[in-house]
Structure 1
Amino acid sequence: MSPRVTAIVVVHSGHGRDGSDHLSGTLSALAAQTRPADRLVIVATGAPDSVLDTARGFAPTQLVTAPDTLPFGQAVALATRSLPDLDQDELLWFLAQDSTPRPDALRVLVGALETAPSVAIAAPKVLDGQDPSMIASFGQSVTRFGARVDLVSDEMDQGQHDHSSDVLGAQATAMLVRASVFRELGGFDPALVSFDGGLDLSIRARLVGHRVAVAPAAAVLDHGDGVAGPRRDTRASTRRRNTRLARFSQLHRRLVYSPAWALWLHWLALVPTALVRVVVALLRKRPETIAAEIGSALQAAFSRQRLGEARRRLGRAKTVPWSALAPLRISWSEVRRRRRLRAEDDVPVIASERSALRFFDGGGAWVVLASALLGVALVVPLLGGGYLAGANLTQLSGSIGELWRNAGFGWRDISVGQAGAADPFAVVLAVLGSITFWQPSAAVVAIMVAALPLATLGAWFAMVRLTERSAVRIVGAILWTVAPPFVVALADGRLHAVLVHLLVPWLFYAGTAAARSWTAAGAASIIAAVIAASAPSTIPVLLLGWLILLLVSRRGVGRLLWTIIPGLVLFAPLVWTQGVRRGAWLSIVADPGLPANNVTPSGWQLLLGVPSGDGLGWPQLVQGGALPDVIGSLVLPVAFLPLAVCALASLLQRRVAIAAPLLLVGGVGLLSAVVGSHLFLTIFGATTVPIWTGSALSFYWFALILCAGITLDGWRRGSAGVAAAAAVAAAVAVVPVVVTIPTHTAALTAADGRGLPAYVSAAATDDPDTRTLVLRPRGDDTLSAVLVRGEGETLDRQSTIVATSHIATEDEARLAEIAGNMVVASGADTAADLDEFGIRFVVVSQLAAQQGANPAAVAAQSTQIAAVLDANAALSAVGDTDRGVLWQASEAAVSQPVPTIAAPLRAAIFIVTAVVFLAALLLSAPTVSSRRQAELHPRSIGQVRSVESMTSEKRMRRRDRAARRRHRADRGRRATASSTRERRGRPTAAAPAAAPAAIGSTDEGSATGGVIGAARAESASSPSEDAAEERSRDDRPSEDDARDPAGSAEDAPVADATASTADPDIADAPTDAEGTAGVGTTAAAAADTDTHAPDEARVTAAPGSAEEPAALTDAPADGDTPRTGSAPEASANDDNETNGEER
């Protein structure tokens, strides 16, 4: 007598994401079963009234409702509690609203349990409801660490797995379970939502001594609503949710299955393991899984109640040791093999053209070498002292610890000091100084020496994005190297402007690929943050470029959003201090570094891209000579005319869609320079100076060069002469500035690394808190007083908070009062005044406090001040030094305590910044996979291609999909044909087959354990047959194909030549975390020769497969060892040989 079957249907919304009525289809299919269910129980949790009305229309035995949406396992438990009269031999069939069974599904499942009493759970073949020809899930297993492995998934169903039977587990969708076993096991684990519920139930059934089998003839369509199994759609939110649930299910099962002595070890390792996996996810360019990794680890760590219940449930029922399940697990070698095959299968059949880089044979290396020689000739003569100084350049602190302390949030120990955020540029300096940790200032010297070749190299690679012509790349590199903003910044010693100029080309190179590559997005985010930190006035240009990329990119919005995150984190403390607390929002864009006397250039000089007000020295050079003075003013317009003409002509080229945004960015760069020249923010002496315009003009010049490159690339005639004229004219224009560097007339000079007299530096070596009062006469009976700590001013200690503070603080006013009392005869207590600020030394500097001061007046004022200080009893004269006249306090000064900032706040800012930039660094690290993906795209952007050489991206994607479908179909057809030949008893040329291997055996002499072996053979179909099959699968030729018959005809041979003979069971199966594995048993191989391909199609057949598929019957009495049928599988040697030939 057939047992009673109770069908339990769990309903949530009743509809799919697309609005389709899945519940009606499921209930209709249930009513149409050839072997109908005896009872129907519908569990509607959180379902609307319309769904309840639909359920009532099918007259269920019971309709159980719940106001809130419950997971599948909890809904099933609710249904079973409403059925107190369950028979001992009753069967439970678990369905979801989107599980549509084929008419004979229940009959086959019931038959599987009736013919094999030891089988407690029978699972159907789950097909994709959107494409019933594809298998969604067919059996599951686990790795040694418990990661779920779908044995068959996302594979075309052609009967190649119809010999499978015993498995470790299966998806919960439509599985048929004996009611007695289900009650013995305690039902589904309520902690498992839509992942691993069926697998966990199957494993517990195995541990009780029962078998779990799959019934290939029973098919159920799953539409992917996410009720009983994972939700299937292409949305990013769904992928993140599935990743989180899958990882939590794995961790939860690991904690449940672990022995008591290892439980705490696993629990303690949850968060550290999650952090390691986060790093791996960043290296694999999968940052979208970070939240899922951390969230699932925390969820698993703090769900102790459910964990305890699950462990008690398992402990009460378990009677079989874990070792009995070992043959059904997946070995690491099998996981690696499947990963390798999957990676090979992920390579598109049709790829884009990618030209050679031609850096050496195209002349790029020679131009870089020439720039390097020029840079060495210019800067090396200045290295006598080992350091460099300039307009706003000085040495760095002597230790890495000091560098990083100055880069953090806290006390800014400059002059009298202020509390607040460090400049973002201080972080850049700390990183640079850490590279040459033995001498932090050496990194600055190295950058200034290598600036010319680095600029040439960056510009050459930037031109790679626009043109394939080597001559145009070289011209662009030369123009960028001799750009006036760069040459002037180098001669003035403006490190921040030099860094901006060096990084702009690389930002363009990485930014243009950021939408499609996490590697490029990570690199672009770091470069953009460094540029913004070095020159905050360029932030408007950076934001405009970012917005343009967002508008023109159809995908990769998340990657583009990431590119601004590091910059926002880096500037957040400064924005809080300057903007929110002080209300000085414009001060955020002030230049970092030492305050310098920036001269405001005229409007026409800015239009020419010249940041200095002296016309690059040409007016002074011509003045007083034989030529008219007007010639000096005309040199620059004439020299830059070819570049300007070529840049504007880009609007008439075919790639105007690229040229127009570039010119827009360049225009904003010019506008930023104009606005910056009128923003007087930084205090220099007694005046305020404007923002340095050179950094914004670098963007302006870069846009002009790129647009000129577009024009020259489009001109095939006469472009060489125009390019040479533009390069030579631009190089000649900057000659007066270049020659000032080796002739020691530029602001960039050699330095010995000391800002104070040697006597003070020696004392500061022993006591870094030594404070020195530096007095600089102005020549007009006023002076400047600066309090310096340690060996002198350093670049990393500078702060725009102090430099842009136009209102003196109480301490600054008090210091000015003390300085005034010291330089005149007064009755003030100098000793007490010095002790108030911990001043140990006083220096009257030989340098004037402001440029343009009368030297004679300054000298007279210095002499007067020296006489007053000599008469001061609180000071003892040390003498004249190379830095000025020095006095020392007669009484030892007491070191003043530095105000402390909340340590947790400082640490939190540092940790957040470090984590964000570490993530960006890991994302930017190139990997084999990222390089392979990059090679699928052309180097140049917006390149116009002929129809013959390159099809459109849309056609390429369509052809690739068609080739993949044909690829899978060919493998499945070969496997099915080989299986059919074996079942018909086709003679083989090999020795008799060996005895069947144990389930999941990993013996080297047998086939790989736990794998459904499918026959591997080369397809005997001709290219014409493949082409016909592609046309039938692709419905009809597209318009592009109709216009390009040659392109359509090439599809068949391309796909056929690249087809892989990888195992159809695994090649396309996506994995959860550990890869995929097959089901059932495989046996030692016996070769079979395909008469259609005698040299290539050597296949193996499993014993017993020549007759009929093995039935789901009990094993002999010596144990419940399952007897399973298995499909044939190719030998490893054949696999390697065939794949090698195809590649």
Structure 2
Amino acid sequence: MEPETQNAPPVVAVVVVHEPGDWFEETLDALADQDYPNLRFLFLLTGPSRSTPSGVLGGSGAGAASDGVDAVETVIERRLPNAFVRDLGANVGFGGAANEVLRLVEGQNGFFLFCHDDIAPDRDAVRLLVEELYRSNAGVVGPKLVQWDDPGVLESVGLSLDRFGEVDQAIEPGEVDQEQHDGVRDVFVIPSAMMLVRADLFRELDGFDAAIELHGEDIEFCWRVHHSGARVVVAPSARARHRSDLVARRPDLNHTRIAARHRLRTVATMTGLARLPGRVLELVVLTVASLVVGLFTGRFRQGVAALRSLLGLIPRLPSIVARRRAVSSIRQVPEREVLGLQQRGSAQLNSFLRSRETTTYVGSTTSVRRWRESTTAPVIAWIVVLSLLLLGSRSALAGGVPPVGEFLRFPDSPRDLLAAYTSGWNPHGLGATEANPTGLAILSVLSFTTLFRMGLLQTVFLIGIVVVGLIGLWKLATVFPSTRARIAALVVYAASPLVGAAYAIGSLDVLVAFAAVPWILHTLRRAVGVEMADPQAARSDMADGLVELSWPERLRRTMQFAIVVALGAAFVPVVVALAVVLGVLLAVGTLLALAPWRTALHYVLVTGAGVLVALLLNIPWVSTWSWDRIVGPSPIGDPGRGLRELASFEIGPIDFASLTLALYLPVVGAILLARAWRLTWAVRSGVIVVGFGFLAVLGDRGALPFSAPQAGVLLVPVAAGLAISAAAALAAFDLDVRGGSFGWRQPLGIASSIAIAVGVFPGVVGITSGDWNAP
């Protein structure tokens, strides 16, 4: 063994230890078991606390409690008697602690193996890293990292980096290791959890940036390595388990803010001088965009942290300039070559788009993230639906929207809308001194999208509002994992005769309700925590794909619901009443489906809180509301439509309207066929259909003790309920009926599918005129 030890280049394993837990002994065992013959160990102890968790020693004795550092040293000496242990006292961060090797170890030969204290490499990991470093002539090489408790799941196989310092993983969360990433390749960053570095290179670069205590020391170091001309390589044949629970170990730190601050510091110090002004401008745009997107995607904190860190660069300019001077001497490679090694575009944007291709499924005990079903059917369905909508609106697109009913011409200038909103004078009727609708201000802002062409704005607004409703319905239908079910919901809602009838009679109230109701249902169920259930758990009795929400997340989702209600009410106040009734009916449907009563309670509480915020957002207009103002003027005379006309949405000129009655068969079919969470949604949609249908009939007959909204507004939730019932029926047929023994369930499922095809026929026929039969 002696000749082999002498021939093998020396490797010093530098392990930074900070108040380890009971897993530390496993780390020591893995390091002690390495088969590399010339390996030495340097343990650097950090941390202000002089106590150590009892798990380190496997128990809590009086001697261990009296001096935690001595206890850690005892454990290290027991496993690695020849290791050198140094207590650094204060916690200077991983980079600052690791830099002590420059002072404690002499010589330019050999390698430094930097490790966290929660790493457990395989027995041959160090040897394979050294071999690959020589084979690839690299400066830094790292292993494949897998999860500590589940080594079959990947954690990292090297990291990519964009020019904004954002890391992009080559793997997806929870991706199983099937040797799909086992090829040796160049990467931009090797995580500091375990990296092998040439000793001479580490000394030449003066180690890690001591100003980066944690979160980003590996990014900054590897960026300098690339500037020096050395290679950074990942060797997946070497494997190590990693706990990676820094957030849990240091709950006293704001990790999001620290990571953002160090990321922007690295970009400011490592970007070439010629490209720095443009990079700063790009960072400003990207930060503002992340704030806007984060408001709706749950990443608002990251956006705020990035903004604070960007502004924080200003008072740190002297230290940044000094750091740029310090690293200028190691720039041996042109900036364009280093930029070519980085990922193009924005890693943050790419990660967001890639996350759209995966879906989180809620199971009975845990949630899993898997790739979505790969199919072009949704794209084709959307192309067909939007094409038919544009075909049916071809007259309005060519010559503008005719001034029918509530479709009054917009003013010639957006300033007129804004002046009307701020004037405090309502010109309707005999005129009155009162606040005007909030929608006037919104329309004046939207005029930017059409370059202040108000006629075009009216056309785009009245047609686009239908598209908004269809997108909301699609979002709502994502509670069903079946693509066929979601497409059925989209088609049923898009083909609702309400759309053509609203255009024909010029009903803005119906169109706004058509846009708002699906978004109200979607944001409300998300605020409650109801998400897509796992189709692989179809045989379970899970009543809902329910996830536990933290208070900040529930508050954020409730505010989204409030914003949707506020936007709808800014144009049509009756949206507030629709939101209240929808929340109550969802709670009733939840109880009737025997789902947890807490879910029903959350529906009521979220509805109440969201509606209250929506009212506040419409101040001062809300001060002028009365019940008659909310529901709108009563129709002249007794419409006397009757049950058939209302059930078939015949509020305007519609051909073959009676065929729409076929859509009610899936309402019954879904309840009879579905199980588990499919049954819950079938009951909820059925309650919405019956509840609002009952209100529409009583309101049409004047049998309610109060003034009712116009029938078309009350029928919009019925149309949404029919769409969700259609989706539930098809989902039940796919998961609960197909593959079972033949009986009455199969014919009922087939009949429901046929009924959907028949029921959408009147809506499709309505596009033929091109003007929706408007006068």
| Contact preservation (8 Å) 1:522, 1:563 | no
Matches of 1:205 and 1:95, distance apart in 2: 18
1:755-786 per-position Cα deviation (integer Å, ceiling 9, x unaligned): xxxxxxxxxxxxxxxxxxxxxxxxxxxxxxxx
| Contact preservation (8 Å) 1:10, 1:43 | yes
Q: What's the secondary structure of 1:943's corresponding residue?
A: helix
1:58 aligns with 2:75: yes
Give the letter for the 1:574 counterpart: N
Structure-2 residue corresponding to 1:572: 616
1:374-405 per-position Cα deviation (integer Å, ceiling 9, x unaligned): x9xxxx9xx9xx96678xx9765443211023
Structure-2 residue corresponding to 1:275: 288
How far the C-alpha of 1:943 sits from its partner, in A, is: 3.4
Matches of 1:406 and 1:395, distance apart in 2: 15
1:76 aligns with 2:89: no
How far the C-alpha of 1:22 sits from its partner, in A, is: 2.9
Change beyond 3 A, Cα 1:405–1:352: same
Matches of 1:455 and 1:158, distance apart in 2: 44
Change beyond 3 A, Cα 1:541–1:48: farther
| Contact preservation (8 Å) 1:128, 1:136 | yes
| Contact preservation (8 Å) 1:574, 1:588 | no
Q: What's the secondary structure of 1:37's corresponding residue?
A: strand
Structure 1 segment 338-737 matched on structure 2, within 5 A: 348=371, 351=374, 397-407=411-421, 410-414=422-426, 422-427=436-441, 430=444, 477-478=496-497, 496-500=508-512, 502-503=514-515, 528-543=565-580, 545=582, 571-575=615-619, 577=620, 587=625, 591=629, 598=633, 612=635, 614-616=637-639, 636=642, 653-654=672-673, 657-658=680-681, 660-665=683-688, 693-695=708-710, 697-698=711-712, 700-703=714-717
1:101 aligns with 2:115: no
Change beyond 3 A, Cα 1:534–1:455: same
| Contact preservation (8 Å) 2:116, 2:192 | no
1:902-949 per-position Cα deviation (integer Å, ceiling 9, x unaligned): xxxxxxxxxxxxxxxxxxxxxxxxxxxxxxxxxxxxx67653325699
Matches of 2:42 and 2:381, distance apart in 1: 74
| Contact preservation (8 Å) 1:257, 1:311 | no
Matches of 2:279 and 2:228, distance apart in 1: 24
1:170-203 per-position Cα deviation (integer Å, ceiling 9, x unaligned): 2222224466754553432245455542243244
| Contact preservation (8 Å) 2:473, 2:720 | no
Matches of 2:180 and 2:457, distance apart in 1: 66
Structure-2 residue corresponding to 1:621: none
Give the letter for the 1:76 counterpart: A
Structure-1 residue corresponding to 2:15: 9
1:963-982 per-position Cα deviation (integer Å, ceiling 9, x unaligned): xxxxxxxxxxxxxxxxxxxx
Work out which of the residue numbers 115, 123, 148 in structure 2 matches 1:129.
148
| Contact preservation (8 Å) 1:119, 1:212 | yes
Matches of 2:233 and 2:453, distance apart in 1: 69
Matches of 2:151 and 2:494, distance apart in 1: 58
Greater helix proportion: 2
1:640-663 per-position Cα deviation (integer Å, ceiling 9, x unaligned): 699799699679743664453235
Structure 1 segment 119-268 matched on structure 2, within 5 A: 121=140, 123-132=142-151, 136-139=155-158, 156=177, 158=179, 170-177=190-197, 182=202, 185-192=205-212, 194-205=214-225, 207=227, 218-226=238-246, 249-260=262-273, 263=276, 266-267=279-280
For structure 1, the residue ranges without an aligned partner over 5 or more in a row are 16-20, 233-237, 556-560, 600-611, 619-634, 678-689, 714-938, 953-1143
% identity of equivalent residues: 18
Structure-2 residue corresponding to 1:1118: none
| Contact preservation (8 Å) 1:44, 1:63 | no
Matches of 1:264 and 1:699, distance apart in 2: 54
| Contact preservation (8 Å) 1:525, 1:562 | no
Change beyond 3 A, Cα 1:528–1:941: farther
Change beyond 3 A, Cα 1:446–1:272: closer
Structure 1 segment 782-801 matched on structure 2, within 5 A: none
Structure-1 residue corresponding to 2:59: none
Change beyond 3 A, Cα 1:496–1:140: closer
Change beyond 3 A, Cα 1:536–1:324: closer
Change beyond 3 A, Cα 1:137–1:76: same
Q: What's the secondary structure of 1:175's corresponding residue?
A: strand
1:24 aligns with 2:25: yes
Change beyond 3 A, Cα 1:480–1:134: closer
Matches of 1:267 and 1:360, distance apart in 2: 39
Does 1 or 2 have the higher relative contact order (CA < 8 Å, sep 6+)? Answer: 1
Matches of 1:548 and 1:75, distance apart in 2: 60
Q: What's the secondary structure of 1:591's corresponding residue?
A: helix
Give the letter for the 1:693 counterpart: A
For structure 2, the residue ranges without an aligned partner over 5 or more in a row are 1-5, 57-67, 78-83, 359-369, 478-482, 534-557, 600-604, 649-660, 741-775
Bigger Rg over Cα? 1
Matches of 1:202 and 1:505, distance apart in 2: 51
| Contact preservation (8 Å) 2:145, 2:156 | yes
Structure-2 residue corresponding to 1:296: 306
1:41 aligns with 2:61: no
How far the C-alpha of 1:299 sits from its partner, in A, is: 0.7
| Contact preservation (8 Å) 1:194, 1:226 | no
Change beyond 3 A, Cα 1:662–1:710: closer
| Contact preservation (8 Å) 1:139, 1:167 | yes
TM-score relative to the length of structure 2: 0.57
1:5-26 per-position Cα deviation (integer Å, ceiling 9, x unaligned): 65443345635xxxxx432211
Change beyond 3 A, Cα 1:653–1:45: same
Change beyond 3 A, Cα 1:566–1:396: farther
Pairwise CA RMSD of aligned residues? 6.8
Give the letter for the 2:20 counterpart: G
Give the letter for the 2:16 counterpart: V
| Contact preservation (8 Å) 1:22, 1:97 | no
| Contact preservation (8 Å) 1:172, 1:198 | yes
Q: What's the secondary structure of 2:123's corresponding residue?
A: coil
| Contact preservation (8 Å) 2:646, 2:697 | no
Matches of 2:76 and 2:33, distance apart in 1: 14
1:539-581 per-position Cα deviation (integer Å, ceiling 9, x unaligned): 24324546877979999xxxxx999999988753434x478xx
Matches of 1:455 and 1:94, distance apart in 2: 53
1:945 aligns with 2:733: yes
TM-score relative to the length of structure 1: 0.42
Matches of 2:124 and 2:576, distance apart in 1: 67
Change beyond 3 A, Cα 1:133–1:653: closer
Give the letter for the 1:129 counterpart: W
